[in-house]
Amino acid sequence: MSKRNKSLTVGLLSAVFIYCLLGFLVLPGIALHVVNSQLEQRVSVPTRLDSLEFNPFSLELSLGELEIGQPGNPVLSFQRLYANLEITSLWRGALELESLTIERAWVAATLQESGELNLSRLLNRPEGAQQLADEEAATPFPVRIAHLKLVESRLYFQDLQPTNAVQARLERINMEIRQFSTLPGERSELLVSAEGPSNSQLQVQGSMGMLPLSSAGTLSIDGLPLSPFWPYVRDQIDLALQDGVLSTRFDYQMDLAQDLSVNLDKASATLSAFDITSPQGDSLARLSHLHIDDASLDLAARSIRVGTVRSRQLEAWISRAENGKVNWQAILPAAQDNSQPEQQAAWQIRLPDVQLREYRVNLTDRQPDSPLDLTLSSLELDLTGFDSATSAPFGLSVKTQINEEGFLSAKGQASLEPISLDLQVAAQNLALAQAQTYLDPFVRIDIRDGKLNTTAHVQLEALDPLALHVDAKADITDLHIVDSLENRDLVRWESLSLDGIVYRDNSLSVEQAQLLKPYARIIINQDLSTNIGNLVIEQPVDDNQTDQAPMAIRIGAVGIEKGSLNFADFSLQPNVALTVEELTGRIGTLDNQNTDPAELNLSGQVDRYAPVQVQGTLTPFDPLNSLDVQASFKDIELTTLSPYARKFAGYRIRKGRLDLDLHYQINAGNLEADNQVLLRDLQLGERVDSPNAVDLPIRLAVALLKDGKGNINITLPVQGDLSNPDFDIMPVIWQSLGNLLSRAATAPFRFIANLFGGDDADLSHVLFAPGAAALDAQARKQLDTLASALNDRPALRLEVEGMSSPAEDGLLVAQQRLDRELNRRWKKAVDQGQAEPSATQSGVPQEAIAGLLGGIYQERTKKEVPAEWSELDAQARNERMRNAILETWQGSEALLRRLAQERNESIKAYLVDNAGLSAQRVQLLDVGVEAVADNGEVPTTLHLSAE
């Protein structure tokens, strides 16, 4: 080799050596020093770069262990940055890299309460640097990176702006971008994956462009817990999140070329184990599963479409407090009053297919005096074709179970603009007692039972003014309403069927109503008030209430089958009690807008055995205008009417039966009546003083008017002006009757000891244990023997004269009366919520007796409990009060008569129901209260007479 070539070779090798020395060692060292120096000057927190390596031949750069922030707690760091520079960068006008890889990066981003990001404070910016940065951001440095990767990195995000800070971590962040470019019009391929809180997974796959900033692709999140991000919601809605997991996937398009444009398509999301409570920990909603699919969103067009919604097992709690506020109302933000609201198009929401299943809503209303709890279970909702931007109707279907027994469903169509409904509604087994809470302020009744079943076609066309049309039929079964003042039955029936119900334009019509086994109780009190009137609670006058036309009501016909009525008149002494049973028939059209009379055809029985027939016409809403009614009563026990006879005739009725044929006509308030009266086997009792009695020889008149069969057949015409307040029909009738009935023939009864079978037993008396009305074995044996004898002799008739004895029965009936009063008052207190029933014993608890006795003592004696009794022990004090109360009842004629009447009824019921004796052959006489005891037992006398 020549000397020249050797020199050239040595020069080249030296140059290469120097190039290598500079590239591999000197320049990286200098660069590392310069970088650390610049970082120290330009970064506001401690910063350190551990190593810098450069390959001058392959143009590969590697940075190792960068930390920005406090040692051990950096804000920004990475383990290694690797870059491979393309030599083409020298002539293409852009920084081009074959690859750029950042390994194990760490970012701790904190959004301060002021809204400033902590990363923005890392650099020490000289004056004018912000304007330069903004200009650079507007026109980014031209860069192309063929393969950009972020490997196994982490992000910690903290937002201090909400009331409770938001903290979230992303782990195992891997990002790969192919053909990354900041040049206009060039796009990159993007692939991102990360692990979020609770091992949730985040994936993004798509493309992006930097100028203008845009991106399109698919994003998916799997198993993301909502709790880390709930403070954002909590500041808007005061709800506490207990649990909740979200998974979602959607295609997206985002473009910032002009305004923000975001479009989501093929979106699906699943929310599970969602549980929210009030801030105080009260449960509000708990959702098992919610899934939406085929959803899309167009932010610019303000449009949302959710193709399908499927949800199940939601349980919600809704309550209204005493002040009328609903729990959700207090939680949700109040509507803001913007004086100049922004003119912006409303969002269009489309829901083609929604299905909600196994929902449960717990409703509680604490505003009424008696709180109401209502549960809607097995709630199902189907919604089809919903579009908030159109007036086209959408399909609606709802089903639910109410309080685990009643069912309610509705199916049809609805629309929002204008609001309208067209639904088929069905209700089954709805408990009417659920309405009790809202009736309490108006009436004093207790709904003990009653079920509503109905099917209806409901059409709502407008709300203001209300345009509602309902076609329905309904059944109300097993109704039981109790007078809460007396705790006695008021109204009940087995079923009420309403067919052809039509409501429209403040008009209600019912084609037909059918009542099965209805019952009503009507009482006239001592002050002439009625039990019905006493139940109505007077309401305060509303001065702002406007006059409104009364609803037009029309009922085509009312059918009654096997009805009953209890009537009592306590204004008379003794009281009158009357029962109508087996009431069956039909009432014609009832119309408050029409004066045409309604047909009336009813039949029944008075006091179980006396048939009654009523026929005719009347105007039900104005009976004094027009009435033409014929009524026929057969075999009425005259002893039932004894109080009226005492008042108007001056005698009590000892026995007898009554047939009445009545014909009443009213025309414009004028009464024309014919009363055909047939009295059979009438016997008057003793005379009584009555200021209303006619001053005529009643007993003589009865004797004269009786025919050969012992009957009295008379006609009593009545006329009068019903509009005259001094006209009273009952005194007129009873005075006329009293003039004609002047006496009753009495026939003594003599039992034949051996009337049947040669038995020598004395059958003239039935003996009762003191205070009892039940028949013992000996009495039943006597009655069996007597019935056998009477069945063989049809001409004989049995008369029963119930008796009681003050000496033998007085104390016992008083004790029974006291026990009934204690039980009644205790039950009333329990029913009204003033006392709690005992779980270990029935009847009145021992600890409640003293208080109840005190109330009864004051009521019966009209005195306060003597103060000196308070020094006695509880048992002695109770005994003193009990004895004092018993003294007030021990001689009560009413109680003794009641016992005697029960003995009467026991004997007749046994003879008719058990011994097979005809009811027409057993007559009950008026009772007595002066029986003489027989070996400690009280006798009831039996009388025998012939037809």
The per-residue DSSP string of 750-767 comes to ---TTTTTT-----SEEE
Segment 669-683 shows an average pLDDT of 75
Segment 502-519 shows an average pLDDT of 90
CATH of the domain at 813: 3.30.1330.60
102 in a domain, yes or no?
no
In contact, 939 and 767? CB cutoff 8 Å: yes
CB-based burial label for 684 (10 Å; 0-12, 13-18, 19+):
buried
pLDDT, residue 516, reads 92
Q: From residue 890, how far is each of 585, 810, 818, 844, 877 by CA, in Å?
A: 46, 5, 10, 22, 20
Is the omega angle on the peptide bond into residue 418 within 30 degrees of 0, that is, cis?
yes
C-alpha torsion angle, residues 634, 635, 638, 640 (rounded to 10) = -90
Segment 548-569 shows an average pLDDT of 82
Weakest-pLDDT range from 237-246, 699-708, 779-788: 699-708
Share of the chain above pLDDT 90, in %: 22
Report the alpha-carbon distance of residue 482 to residue 533 in Å, rounded: 14
pLDDT in tens, 817-832: 878 878 888 888 778 8
Is the confidence at residue 27, as pLDDT, over 80?
no
In contact, 925 and 685? CB cutoff 8 Å: no
Weakest-pLDDT range from 111-125, 295-309, 429-443, 676-690: 676-690
Report the alpha-carbon distance of residue 116 to residue 75 in Å, rounded: 15
Q: From residue 931, how far is each of 506, 653, 765, 803, 862 by CA, in Å?
A: 65, 19, 11, 6, 31
Categorize the per-residue pLDDT at 614 as very low, low, confident or very high, splitting at 50, 70 and 90: confident
| SS3 assignment for 417-466 | CCEEEEEEEEEEEEEHHHHHHHHCCCECEEEEEEEEEEEEEEEEEECCCC
pLDDT, residue 312, reads 94
Report the alpha-carbon distance of residue 833 to residue 437 in Å, rounded: 13
Categorize the per-residue pLDDT at 752 as very low, low, confident or very high, splitting at 50, 70 and 90: very low
Mean pLDDT: which of 124-133, 607-616, 813-822 is highest? 813-822
**Which residues form the domain of 827?**
747-832+844-947
pLDDT in tens, 64-92: 888 988 888 898 999 999 988 887 766 66
Report the alpha-carbon distance of residue 338 to residue 344 in Å, rounded: 14
The pTM (predicted TM-score) of the whole model is 0.65
Answer with the one of 392, 409, 426 that is the final residue of a domain: 409
The tokens describing 524, both together, are: 């006239």
250 in a domain, yes or no?
yes
88 in a domain, yes or no?
no
Amino acid at residue number 699: R
pLDDT, residue 704, reads 45
Residue bearing the bigger pLDDT, 144 or 732 = 144
810 in a domain, yes or no?
yes
Output DSSP code: residue 227.
Answer: G
Answer with the one of 374, 409, 444 that is the final residue of a domain: 409
Mean pLDDT: which of 27-41, 191-205, 733-747 is highest? 191-205
pLDDT in tens, 197-217: 989 999 999 998 888 888 899
Q: From residue 46, how far is each of 103, 117, 153, 452 by CA, in Å?
A: 21, 18, 21, 79
Q: Which of 674, 565, 563 is nearest to 628 (CA)?
A: 674
pLDDT, residue 797, reads 74
pLDDT, residue 741, reads 45
CB-based burial label for 796 (10 Å; 0-12, 13-18, 19+):
middle
10 in a domain, yes or no?
no
Share of the chain above pLDDT 70, in %: 80
Q: What is the mean pLDDT of the chain?
A: 80
Categorize the per-residue pLDDT at 640 as very low, low, confident or very high, splitting at 50, 70 and 90: low
Report the number of distinct structural domains present in the chain.
Answer: 2
Residue bearing the bigger pLDDT, 214 or 847 = 214
371 in a domain, yes or no?
yes
383 in a domain, yes or no?
yes
pLDDT, residue 361, reads 93
Segment 503-530 shows an average pLDDT of 83
Answer with the one of 371, 393, 409 that is the final residue of a domain: 409
Helix (H, G, I), strand (E, B) or coil at 372: strand
81 in a domain, yes or no?
no
Helix (H, G, I), strand (E, B) or coil at 47: strand
